[in-house]
Amino acid sequence: MSIFWQLTRSFLLPIMKCKNHHQTEKLYTNESGVAIPSKMERNIIKGQTCLKYTSVHILKKEDTLKSVYPEFLPDPTPQWRNKLREKLERQDMLARRAVMPIPEFYVGGFMKCSMNPTNPYGKSNYFGVCDRGGGSLKKGYFLWKMSENGVEILYEMYCPLITSIETLRLEKRMDEELLYLRDSLPEYSTFPLDMDPEPLQEGATVPINQLKVKLKPRPWHSRWERFNLQGVQDLELPTKFIERAKTFEKPWEKYDLMKDYRETISEEEQRDIFLEVSSSYPQMEAARRRIKRTRT
């Protein structure tokens, strides 16, 4: 009986200690925002037994990384996934950011891009409104501007030919893509050539532009009545177009859990990715703040 009690006590005592540590110990972070392993976690690393323990998290910094640096998340399409390639791409992206600071921007913001092309005409500058973005190392953004005719240029954000990227107006729009600007009236895509940067105070939330654009009469580049667009005025279409657009609606997709799973990166994988990137987070944030101070 005594031998059984000793074996039971030797097995249960570490578990009870780990449980108490899990309830009482605080989680401290280093300068990069990465949690420092607690005493309980260090004991686990040394080989002690515990059934439940706290994993390493990125506190508060993770939300900032998700919102400001979403390109570090890979494309969730299963047939395009390759973890080795994604890891090498993230290293290349961090190395590029160490050479050229990239400001914070969103779809709908006004941006200026300077590029040193291979042609003999030298450096070129172009600015416009960002109407669409991409992801991963090939993350690009389309700048749309109306000058005589509409001009839309794709810039790959991490292209080595780009010398500088500047955000003239930091704001968001109500839609994730602004491709309908191709069919909007010219005044919604016309900007002054001498537009000055409009700085945003440090710590202020990014404003959402509630502007609703007016589209030109049909024909359009796409059937915009079939999209749930928030930034477009009433399309003023005949009833038959509206009724036909309703047949293409898929209201059940917002309840499709498998569709959401296939189109997103899991929280566990996101945590691992941002834990890998977090070591360079202070340098990226310092560069981003330095760009803001330069604009002011």
Over range 128-132, report the average pLDDT: 84
Quick one: pLDDT at residue 4? 52
Residues in a beta bridge with 29: 35
Most confident of 17-31, 87-101, 114-128: 87-101
What's the pLDDT tens digit per position in 76-115? 888 888 999 999 999 999 999 888 888 888 889 999 999 8
Over range 174-180, report the average pLDDT: 92
What's the pLDDT tens digit per position in 279-290? 888 887 777 776
Quick one: pLDDT at residue 40? 37
What's the pLDDT tens digit per position in 227-258? 999 999 999 999 999 999 999 999 999 899 99
Q: Would you list the domain boundaries of the chain?
A: 2-46, 61-295
What is the value of pTM for the model shown? Answer: 0.72
Quick one: pLDDT at residue 147? 62
- b vs e for 219-250, b when ≥16 Cβ sit within 10 Å of the residue's Cβ? eeeeebbeeebebbeebeeeeeeeeebeeeee
Quick one: pLDDT at residue 28? 42
Quick one: pLDDT at residue 22? 41
Quick one: pLDDT at residue 134? 64
Q: In the structure, what pLDDT confidence band is assigned to residue 3 with cuts at 50, 70 and 90? A: low
Residue 189 has pLDDT above 80, yes or no: yes
Residue with tokens 């310092």: 286
